[in-house]
Amino acid sequence: MSTIELRKVTKRFGSFTAVKDVDLSVAAGEVVCLLGPSGCGKTTTLRVIAGLESVTDGEVVIAGKVMNNLPPEKRDIAMVFQFYALYPSASVGENIAFPLYHDGISRAERTARVNRVAAILHLEHVLDRLPNQISEGEKQRAAMARAIVRDPNCFLFDEPLSRLDVELRQSMRGQIKEVLQGLSKATVIVTHDQLEALTMADRIAIMKDGLIEQVGSPHEVFAKPANAFVASFIGTPQMNLLEADLKTFADGTAEMAVAGINLAIRTDAAVARLQPGKVTIGVRPRAFTATDTGDRGTISARAELIEPMGAETLIHARTAAGADIRVVVTRSQRVKVGEALNLRPDPRQTHVFDGAGKAVRS
């Protein structure tokens, strides 16, 4: 049974806690991405699963067995690193077959397995070439093939696409997802690239300062962020987080002062539980509508920078109180630098976070 489970896993280096009380389960056939900024603990968590780092507290369970005291070679895992680590003097086929020698697989079986995995990853035509004779994308696929050929309990990927250019990253995201869907293995992928996580993962675990802030499907973490950090980290362009002063809440409408502007907006009924005071509202750039006239449901700002993005245009605007707001409009909406804007947030896509940054939601 291919599963991974972390139970209250903590990893300390001296007095520094790199990972704290991490609970995470990965089912057979599921892809979970550990996503977060540099230094958040995601790679350390992966290394703990692999056995490359020992656990300070908690348990690492793979295929139903506690692995804390087992070395990496006894855990039946396959790991793909950021650097391909292909042997330069061995052919691609020999690189792929290398793990099978350790397992005592016969020559005929090795050849059959290599050919089968090469067909899955479209490497048949380069099996006889050396690593310096193939493209970067083929090197990455060869590293994947070497991991897959062993048929391990689970797969671990550490920033697998970080060395590829933009075009290759796009194609490899789809190829990796397609391959993993057919293997029924628990898979953990570490990345700092939210687009990789959103496109490849069944679930995303977003980390900050060694803690998991939220675990959910790509849609859940985007549409229902658990806190202001997750809201700001997921989505491009970044969500607008605006400081606000909550005045009253009645009949489903919150009255608040936002960026020096009095705003009345329908919000989640859970906002009624909050006491008047400081909150943060989050609005994604595409959740604003630019209108000709302003009212109590709009925020007034002035366009300061225009960034064409093809079918859309990103507008950087600023309120009279100095709050910066990002707005995305269609290419047909012509906006000029210096133009006054009245921005109406979509109530269905407006998030409220309390003073501690936690989402206020029913």
Supply the range of the domain harboring residue 67: 4-225
The reply to whether 231 falls in a domain is: no
pLDDT of residue 54: 96
Closest among 247, 218, 249 to 234, alpha carbons compared: 218
220 and 275 fall within a common domain: no
Q: Is the pLDDT of residue 225 over 90?
A: yes
Q: What is the mean pLDDT of residues 107-127?
A: 90
The whole-number pLDDT of residue 187 equals 94
Compute φ and ψ for 287, nearest 5 degrees.
Answer: -95, 5
Question: Are residues 259 and 187 located together in one domain of the fold?
Answer: no
Confidence of residue 337 (pLDDT cuts 50, 70, 90): very high
In a domain, 51, yes or no: yes
Q: What pTM was estimated for this model as a whole?
A: 0.89
State residue 188's pLDDT score.
96
Burial of 15 (0-12, 13-18, 19+ CB in 10 A): exposed
Same domain, 218 and 306: no
Number of domains in the chain: 2
What average pLDDT does range 255-281 have in this prediction? 92
Asked if residue 176 and residue 267 are part of one domain, the reply reads no
Q: Residue 307, CB half-sphere, CA atoms under 13 Å: how many?
A: 10
Beta sheet of 203-208, edge-to-edge order: 77-80, 154-158, 186-191, 31-35, 203-208, 211-216
Domain edge (last residue) among 176, 200, 225: 225
Residue 357 predicted with pLDDT over 80: yes
Boundary of a domain, candidates 194, 225, 256: 225
Tell me whether residue 232 is in a domain: no
Band the pLDDT of 35: cuts 50, 70, 90.
Answer: very high
pLDDT band at 233 (very low <50, low <70, confident <90, very high): very high
Last residue of a domain, one of 225, 248, 264: 225
Read off the tokens for 246. Answer: 């909550």
- Across the range 260-281, mean pLDDT stands at 92
The H helix count followed by the E strand count for the chain is: 8, 20
Structure tokens at 324: 């910066």
pLDDT at 2 over 90: no
Do 78 and 155 meet the contact criterion of CB atoms below 8 Å apart? yes
Residues 267, 143 within the same domain: no
Judge if 156 and 80 occupy the same domain: yes
Residue 362 within any structural domain of the chain:
no
Cα(281)–Cα(276) distance, integer angstroms: 14
3-state helix, strand, coil in the chain (%, to 5): 30, 35, 35
Q: Do both 217 and 256 map to the same domain?
A: no
Q: What is the CATH classification number for the domain harbouring 148?
A: 3.40.50.300
Q: Could you read off the pLDDT of 285-332 as tens digits, one per residue?
A: 999 998 878 888 899 999 999 999 999 999 999 999 899 999 999 988
Is the residue at 190 inside a domain? yes
Whether residue 233 lies inside any domain: the answer is no
Q: Which of 8-12, 210-214, 336-340 has the lowest mean pLDDT?
A: 336-340
Q: What is the pLDDT of residue 242?
A: 95
Asked if the structure places residue 234 within a domain, the reply is: no
Residue 191 bridge partners (DSSP): 35
149-207 confidence digits (pLDDT tens): 888 889 999 988 777 777 777 777 877 788 888 788 999 999 988 988 999 999 999 99
Do the domain assignments include residue 176? yes
Would you say the C-alpha torsion 37, 42, 47, 50 has a positive or negative sign? negative
> Do 191 and 155 share a structural domain?
yes
User: Does one domain contain both 164 and 52?
Assistant: yes
Is 80 exceeded by the pLDDT of residue 133? yes
What is the pLDDT of the chain when averaged over all its residues?
91
Task: Write down the pLDDT at residue 291.
Answer: 84
Q: Are 177 and 107 in the same domain?
A: yes
- Answer yes or no: do 59 and 140 share one domain: yes
CATH number for the domain that contains residue 306: 2.40.50.140
CA atoms within 13 A on the CB side of 227: 12
Asked whether residue 87 carries a pLDDT value surpassing 80, the answer given is: yes
- State the average pLDDT over residues 8-36: 96
Looking at residue 329, its pLDDT comes to 93
Percent of the chain with pLDDT over 70: 99
Average pLDDT of span 10-39: 96
If you ran DSSP here, which 8-state letter would residue 267 be given? -
Q: Are residues 147 and 272 in the same domain?
A: no
Instruction: Give the whole-angstrom CA distance, residue 17 versus residue 113.
Output: 42
